[in-house]
Amino acid sequence: MKKKKLYYGWILIVAVAISMGLSLSIANMFLSLFVVSVTKVMGITVTAFMVSSTVIKIVQAVAAPFAGRLADKKGARFMAITCGLLIASGYVLLGFSHNLPLLYVGYAIVSLGSISGGMIVTNAICARWFDKYLSLANGIANMGMGLTSAVLIPITIRIIANNGYNSGYFFLAGAAFVLIALISFIFIKNDPTELGLYPDGADGPIDESDKPVIKLTGMDLGEAMKTWDFWAISLSLAILGAVATMQTYNAALQSVGITPATVATVASVFSLIGIGAPILFGLLTDRLPTRLVIAVGAGCYAVCCYIVTTLTAASGMGKLCLFAVLFAFGASYWRPVYMKYLKQCFGIKNISSINGAIQTIQNIGAMIGPIVAGRLVDSSGSYHSSYLLFTGMLIVSGVMLMMVRVPAKVAQ
Give per-residue pLDDT as tens, 220-250: 999 999 999 999 999 999 999 888 766 667 7
Question: Which residues are bridge partners to 218 per DSSP?
Answer: 347
Please give the pLDDT value at position 409: 56
Please give the pLDDT value at position 189: 94
Question: pTM of this prediction?
Answer: 0.83
* Highest mean pLDDT (candidates 249-258, 281-290, 381-390): 281-290
In this prediction, residues 154-167 reach a mean pLDDT of 91
Q: Among 39-43, 116-120, 352-356, 406-410, which stretch is predicted with the lowest mean pLDDT? A: 406-410
CA 15 – CA 17 distance, rounded (Å): 5
Please give the pLDDT value at position 393: 94
Average pLDDT of the residues of the chain = 88
Close Cβ partners of 326 (under 8 Å, ≥ 6 residues apart): 300, 301, 303, 304, 307
Please give the pLDDT value at position 212: 60
Of residues 27, 21, 34, 272, the one with CA closest to residue 148:
21
CA 319 – CA 248 distance, rounded (Å): 18
In this prediction, residues 190-210 reach a mean pLDDT of 74
With a cut of 60, say whether residue 22 has pLDDT above it: yes
Please give the pLDDT value at position 373: 79
Please give the pLDDT value at position 31: 84
Provide φ and ψ at 218, rounded to 5°: 145, 175
With a cut of 60, say whether residue 213 has pLDDT above it: no
Please give the pLDDT value at position 330: 92
In this prediction, residues 258-285 reach a mean pLDDT of 87
CA 16 – CA 144 distance, rounded (Å): 8
Q: pLDDT tens digit string along 363-394?
A: 898 888 877 877 887 788 888 888 899 999 99
Please give the pLDDT value at position 345: 92
With a cut of 70, say whether residue 71 has pLDDT above it: yes
> Exposed (0-12), middle (13-18) or buried (19+): which is 324, by Cβ within 10 Å?
buried
With a cut of 80, say whether residue 262 has pLDDT above it: yes
pLDDT band at 411 (very low <50, low <70, confident <90, very high): very low
- Asked if residues 123 and 352 have their Cβ atoms less than 8 Å apart, the reply is yes
Please give the pLDDT value at position 231: 95
Please give the pLDDT value at position 412: 40
Total length of the chain: 412
Provide φ and ψ at 309, rounded to 5°: -70, -15
**Percent of the chain at pLDDT exceeding 70:** 93
With a cut of 60, say whether residue 207 has pLDDT above it: no
User: CA Rg, the chain, in Å?
Assistant: 21
